[in-house]
């Protein structure tokens, strides 16, 4: 909202109802938006006193960054974070064999893998890397939902990764076909979340 009360921006989000433990190892502000920012951390740390024991590192853009940034003062610290993975690009495969043998020169991560662009050097990070990632995993569940405002259908998919479940969202155009439980999803995502 602007000083005059006008909406000047919005960030899409879907509350999944599933919060993850995140061992927060860093925090930063978006250089272009004063109230926006992100946290870095390791998802679902296996040992409470070892933050790097998590499933994988990631960067999450926080919806509530302006409200919570003053509460994160020491690192590492474990917080509960609800995360939505908003799909940029995607490929669906019928099964693991189709995923492994698919033709083409597109790099596909090993199945059940996750690579944060901020941590894997996938993008030229420079001073700022967005909260994006690549992942390849098995769809455990897929539900078609309707946006109550725009009335546009979209898919909510629970994607099984190594030691974690990713809640991914995509429109029909991005997916190209209807996802089914057991399909393999390879996709790039924007990761957005909120602390709970």
Kindly report, residue by residue over 156-185, the tens digit of the pLDDT.
999 999 999 999 999 999 999 999 999 999
Cβ partners under 8 Å of residue 70, min gap 6: none
First to last CA, the chain: 23
Is 2 among the domain residues?
no
> Domain count of the chain?
2
Q: What is the pTM of this model?
A: 0.89
Is 7 among the domain residues?
no
Is 10 among the domain residues?
no
97 shares a domain with 158:
yes
Which pLDDT does position 124 carry in this prediction? 53
47 shares a domain with 32:
yes
Rounded distance, CA 118 to CA 1, Å? 29
Domain that holds residue 161: 83-195
87 shares a domain with 135:
yes
98 shares a domain with 186:
yes
28 shares a domain with 105:
no
109 shares a domain with 57:
no
Is 11 among the domain residues?
no
**Three-state SS for 150?**
coil
Is 1 among the domain residues?
no
The dihedral of CA 144, 85, 88, 37: what is its sign? positive
Residue 41 has pLDDT above 80, yes or no: yes
Which pLDDT does position 121 carry in this prediction? 65
Question: Where a domain ends, among 35, 50, 81?
Answer: 81
């Amino acid at each position: 909202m602007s000083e005059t009360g006008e909406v000047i921006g919005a960030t899409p989000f879907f509350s999944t109802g599933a919060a993850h433990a995140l061992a927060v190892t860093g925090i930063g502000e978006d250089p272009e938006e004063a109230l926006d920012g992100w946290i870095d951390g390791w998802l679902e740390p296996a040992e409470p006193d070892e933050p790097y024991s998590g499933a994988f590192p990631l960067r999450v853009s926080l919806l509530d960054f302006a409200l919570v940034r003053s509460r994160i003062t020491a690192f590492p610290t474990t917080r509960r974070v609800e995360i939505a993975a908003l799909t940029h690009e995607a490929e669906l495969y019928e099964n693991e064999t189709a995923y492994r043998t698919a033709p083409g020169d597109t790099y596909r991560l090993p199945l059940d893998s996750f690579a944060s662009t901020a941590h894997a050097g996938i993008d030229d990070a420079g001073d700022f890397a967005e909260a994006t990632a690549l992942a390849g995993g098995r769809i455990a569940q897929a539900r078609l939902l309707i946006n109550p405002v725009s009335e546009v259908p979209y898919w909510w998919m629970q994607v099984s990764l190594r030691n974690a479940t990713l809640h991914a969202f995509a429109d029909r155009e991005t997916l190209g076909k209807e996802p089914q439980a057991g399909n393999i999803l390879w996709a790039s995502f924007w990761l957005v979340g909120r602390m709970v």
